[in-house]
Amino acid sequence: MSYCNRLDERDTFTYALVLLGYCLFLFPVTVSAQTLADGLGYPSGTKLIIVHADDLGETHAVNAAAIKALERGSINSASLMVPCPWFPEIADYATSHPDVDFGLHLTVTSERVYYRWGPVADADKVPSLLDKYRFFYHDWEHNQHINPKEVEIELHAQIERALAMGVRPTHLDSHQYRLIMNGKELFDVLLRVAHEYKLPVFVTRDWFADHPYLQQSLGPGDIVLDHTVTIGPEVPAEKWAEFYILELKNLKPGVTEFVIHPGFDDEELRAATRERSTWGSAWRQRDFDFFTSDQFRQILLQENIKLITWRDLAKMAARK
Amino acid sequence: MSYCNRLDERDTFTYALVLLGYCLFLFPVTVSAQTLADGLGYPSGTKLIIVHADDLGETHAVNAAAIKALERGSINSASLMVPCPWFPEIADYATSHPDVDFGLHLTVTSERVYYRWGPVADADKVPSLLDKYRFFYHDWEHNQHINPKEVEIELHAQIERALAMGVRPTHLDSHQYRLIMNGKELFDVLLRVAHEYKLPVFVTRDWFADHPYLQQSLGPGDIVLDHTVTIGPEVPAEKWAEFYILELKNLKPGVTEFVIHPGFDDEELRAATRERSTWGSAWRQRDFDFFTSDQFRQILLQENIKLITWRDLAKMAARK
């Protein structure tokens, strides 16, 4: 082999490596749609859903509705807001029901007006997260500086409180998608904390187009769901069931998380959410009503939709 | 005047001063029972009461019941728990109803089990007040070390948050009487903070026998109520009205604060207080029911009992 030939071979190898690196950059080897279903032992084309309740711990009315729906089997996964006043109630339930699929709904905002909460970490260690009354910000202004190091401190504090109180989370997600949709720095904090605690994070490839940094940061060991469905303010109250039925009938193969917000439309929830109707008390009652209805169960059977949980996904990932 | 005479005069003067000091030590010149009624412009022997609701801010059901009773005129004073999740709701009401007699119910415990709260101050500045989950302690053990300096930091933080949110308190009192009944050091902190903000503190001479340090610490400018009435767990539910009626019929002259705990016996309050019935949901509904009843109003008329507020007392003290 001449020196030139060796050089050529090295060049070809280097070129291949560069190409591979570029491809990995564009299409990181996350656990793909097909791989998730395969890994769970389902045939190709199977439609799998997680019916996931958000915001447990925020109010009693949300805890009570979620517990009722979980016990009926109507929802099969949920996540808990550690900084919220009713977290001890749902933590108590979680510790006495260790098989229930509970994650942590990591929370860095306090979006209501008449009912609020602040950090689990020392307030003086997370000043960029707090308003002048030392609650989490109601909302973030465009381009508001949120210090990623402070977010990391707060996420650790939330997870450590949950663990200390006996909760064994199956996954992490982000309240109001704050740590998903607000740039690479905050997403990287979320991902780093998730890796540290060996917990999957709720991410779906539906979000990659608008937030390409998600795909750049995710690695081959990270679980990525195929799709997510959540109802929005554009759906009028009388079309609630119709929206979900259509989504279920048009469901794509792979794993889809339905992010829902069940709650009981009672005095507490009406008062806690009264400043706006979006994600309010009647909204949450409608979610509870649809997902505990016979209609919902029948559609799952009709459409041959299977229910899976984050515990199933985490077990699958651990086997790899 | 001889030197001896002058010495004698000085001796007599010194003796009088010592005697006065001793008398002041034993009987400090607080604003007395008679003086309070006199100062308010009522004839000697008048029976005056403050009907005071505790624990506003703790839950929505307590806020809603207190607001309803205040607007009916059935209660005429209340105090707010700043560290609690529903404080923003009652602070909003207080700022839009600046004439209502609201004090701050300074809070250093979180006595419930399924629903909890922590400090307003930075958690790392008040470690002796916090349990392993960084909530205020559910309860204090006998001889537990509570650092008075940390209590002072926390009280400042609570008052500053209330002021920042627009509340203009008329008085201070202590949730679960923690800062009254737990020794001179904590009471002195409460009194020092009250003086700093020029606010009266709820103290009654009923407590002097069991807690003599109260009388030692109080000065001539401090308001001291004559009596207080609060219902206890020894009263069965069916004797609720009977207890209050008897107390009102046997009321002594001077100023008496009825410390009551109105609330609506609904899903939220039942869940928040479910670990024990004392000061629970049904208890609070009974208080609401009695103090908003026609029977209560009739007894006030029959017994010629007058209603006063902390605002009246503070104005009187300011005139002195």
The predicted complex's ipTM stands at: 0.89
Q: Which residue has the tokens 């260690």?
A: A125
Contact B114 A92 (CB under 8 A): yes
Report the distance separating Cα A51 and Cα B80, nearest Å. 40
| pLDDT at residue A23 tops 70 | no
Q: Hey, how many other C-beta atoms are within 10 angstroms of the C-beta on B54?
A: 24
Question: Would an 8 Å CB–CB cutoff place B139 in contact with chain A?
Answer: no
Percent of the residues in chain A that have a pLDDT greater than 90, as a whole number: 85
| pLDDT at residue B308 tops 50 | yes
Q: What is the pLDDT confidence band of residue A15, given thresholds at 50, 70 and 90?
A: low
Report the distance separating Cα A194 and Cα B136, nearest Å. 29
Q: What is the pLDDT confidence band of residue A7, given thresholds at 50, 70 and 90?
A: very low
Question: Would an 8 Å CB–CB cutoff place A123 in contact with chain B?
Answer: yes
Contact B266 A271 (CB under 8 A): no
- At residue B44, the pLDDT reads 86
Decide: B302 and B62 in contact? Cβ < 8 Å: no
The arithmetic mean of pLDDT across residues B145-164, rounded, is 98
The arithmetic mean of pLDDT across residues A146-171, rounded, is 98
| pLDDT at residue B27 tops 80 | no
Question: Would an 8 Å CB–CB cutoff place B188 in contact with chain A?
Answer: no
- At residue A84, the pLDDT reads 98
- At residue B33, the pLDDT reads 43
At B207-229, the pLDDT tens digits run: 999 999 999 999 999 999 999 99
| pLDDT at residue B106 tops 90 | yes
Q: Which residue of B has its CA nearest to A88?
A: B114
Contact B267 A271 (CB under 8 A): no
Question: Would an 8 Å CB–CB cutoff place A268 in contact with chain B?
Answer: yes
Facing residue for A272 by CB, picked from B60, B164, B165:
B60
| pLDDT at residue B28 tops 80 | no
Q: Which of A68, A89, A281 best tests the B interface by mutation, with the highest count of B CBs <10 A? A: A89
Average pLDDT for chain A: 91
Facing residue for B271 by CB, picked from A60, A115, A122:
A60
Per-position DSSP letters for chain A, written without gaps between them? --HHHHHHHHHHHHHHHHHHHHHHHHS---B-HHHHHHHTTPPTT-EEEEEEEEEETS-HHHHHHHHHHHHHTS--EEEE-TTSTTHHHHHHHHHH-TTS-EEEEE------SSS----SS-GGG-GGGB-TTSSBPSS--TT----HHHHHHHHHHHHHHHHHTT---S-EEEGGGHHHHS-HHHHHHHHHHHHHTT--B--BGGGTTT-HHHHHH--TTSB-BSEEE---TTS-GGGHHHHHHHHHHTPPSEEEEEEE-----SHHHHHHTTT-STT-HHHHHHHHHHHTSHHHHHHHHHTTEEE--HHHHHHHHHH-
Q: Which of B80, B129, B161, B267 best tests the A interface by mutation, with the highest count of A CBs <10 A? A: B267
| pLDDT at residue A203 tops 80 | yes
Regarding predicted confidence, which is higher, A25 or A240?
A240
The arithmetic mean of pLDDT across residues B63-71, rounded, is 98
Report the distance separating Cα B108 and Cα B105, nearest Å. 10
| Shortest alpha-carbon distance between residue B161 and chain A (Å) | 6
Percent of the residues in chain A that have a pLDDT greater than 70, as a whole number: 89
Regarding predicted confidence, which is higher, A95 or A44?
A95
**Which two tokens mark A169?**
């989370």
Decide: B174 and B228 in contact? Cβ < 8 Å: no
B:207-266 residues touching chain A, CB 8 A cutoff: 264, 266
**Which two tokens mark B189?**
């902190």
Report the distance separating Cα B117 and Cα B111, nearest Å. 9
Question: Would an 8 Å CB–CB cutoff place B92 in contact with chain A?
Answer: yes
- At residue B74, the pLDDT reads 87
The arithmetic mean of pLDDT across residues A306-314, rounded, is 96
Closest to B273 in 3D by CA, of B106, B158, B110: B110
Q: Which residue has the tokens 């509870």?
A: A288
- At residue B21, the pLDDT reads 46
Report the distance separating Cα B181 and Cα B222, nearest Å. 18
- At residue B6, the pLDDT reads 46
- At residue B11, the pLDDT reads 56
Contact A85 B264 (CB under 8 A): no
- At residue B52, the pLDDT reads 98
| pLDDT at residue B166 tops 70 | yes
Closest to B119 in 3D by CA, of B133, B107, B101, B104: B107
Question: Would an 8 Å CB–CB cutoff place B271 in contact with chain A?
Answer: yes
Question: Would an 8 Å CB–CB cutoff place B86 in contact with chain A?
Answer: yes
In Å, how far from its chain's centre is CA B256? 12
Facing residue for B134 by CB, picked from A59, A161, A272:
A161
Q: What is the pLDDT confidence band of residue A319, given thresholds at 50, 70 and 90?
A: confident
**How many Cβ pairs within 8 Å bridge chains A and B?**
87
- At residue A269, the pLDDT reads 98
For residue B134, the one-letter residue type is R
Question: Would an 8 Å CB–CB cutoff place B85 in contact with chain A?
Answer: yes
**Which two tokens mark B214?**
């109260």
Facing residue for A133 by CB, picked from B115, B123, B165:
B165
Q: What is the pLDDT confidence band of residue A26, given thresholds at 50, 70 and 90?
A: very low
Q: What is the pLDDT confidence band of residue A260, given thresholds at 50, 70 and 90?
A: very high
Facing residue for A85 by CB, picked from B115, B122, B133:
B115
**Which two tokens mark A256?**
């889809």
| pLDDT at residue A86 tops 60 | yes
Half-sphere exposure of B80 (CA within 13 A, CB side): 33
Partners of residue B64 in chain A, C-beta under 8 Å = 267, 271
Question: Would an 8 Å CB–CB cutoff place B270 in contact with chain A?
Answer: no
The arithmetic mean of pLDDT across residues B22-44, rounded, is 64
Q: What is the pLDDT confidence band of residue B143, given thresholds at 50, 70 and 90?
A: confident
| pLDDT at residue B14 tops 70 | no
| pLDDT at residue B163 tops 80 | yes
Partners of residue B161 in chain A, C-beta under 8 Å = 133-134
Question: Would an 8 Å CB–CB cutoff place B279 in contact with chain A?
Answer: no
At B68-92, the pLDDT tens digits run: 999 999 899 999 999 999 999 999 9
Beta bridge partners of B201: B172
The arithmetic mean of pLDDT across residues B290-295, rounded, is 97
Per-position DSSP letters for B96-134, written without gaps between them? H-TTS-EEEEE------SSS----SS-GGG-GGGB-TTS
Partners of residue A61 in chain B, C-beta under 8 Å = 267-268
**Which two tokens mark A291?**
């997902």
The arithmetic mean of pLDDT across residues B199-208, rounded, is 97
Contact B134 A120 (CB under 8 A): yes
Q: What phi and psi, each to the nearest 5 degrees, are found at residue A104?
A: -110, 130
Q: What is the pLDDT confidence band of residue B12, given thresholds at 50, 70 and 90?
A: low
| Shortest alpha-carbon distance between residue B60 and chain A (Å) | 6
Contact A61 B268 (CB under 8 A): yes
The arithmetic mean of pLDDT across residues A149-168, rounded, is 98
At A89-116, the pLDDT tens digits run: 999 999 999 999 999 999 999 999 999 9
Question: Would an 8 Å CB–CB cutoff place A121 in contact with chain B?
Answer: yes
Contact B64 A113 (CB under 8 A): no
Q: What is the pLDDT confidence band of residue B306, given thresholds at 50, 70 and 90?
A: very high
Q: Which residue of A has its CA nearest to B166?
A: A133
Report the distance separating Cα A72 and Cα B51, nearest Å. 46
| Shortest alpha-carbon distance between residue A50 and chain B (Å) | 28
**Which two tokens mark A70?**
């979980």
Per-position DSSP letters for chain B, written without gaps between them? --HHHHHHHHHHHHHHHHHHHHHHHHS---B-HHHHHHHTTPPTT-EEEEEEEEEETS-HHHHHHHHHHHHHTS--EEEE-TTSTTHHHHHHHHHH-TTS-EEEEE------SSS----SS-GGG-GGGB-TTSSBPSS--TT----HHHHHHHHHHHHHHHHHTT---S-EEEGGGHHHHS-HHHHHHHHHHHHHTT--B--BGGGTTT-HHHHHH--TTSB-BSEEE---TTS-GGGHHHHHHHHHHTPPSEEEEEEE-----SHHHHHHTTT-STT-HHHHHHHHHHHTSHHHHHHHHHTTEEE--HHHHHHHHHH-
Picking from A149-153, A162-166, B71-75, B265-269, which range would have the lowest pLDDT averaged per residue?
B71-75
Q: What phi and psi, each to the nearest 5 degrees, are found at residue A78?
A: -165, 165
Regarding predicted confidence, which is higher, A194 or A13?
A194
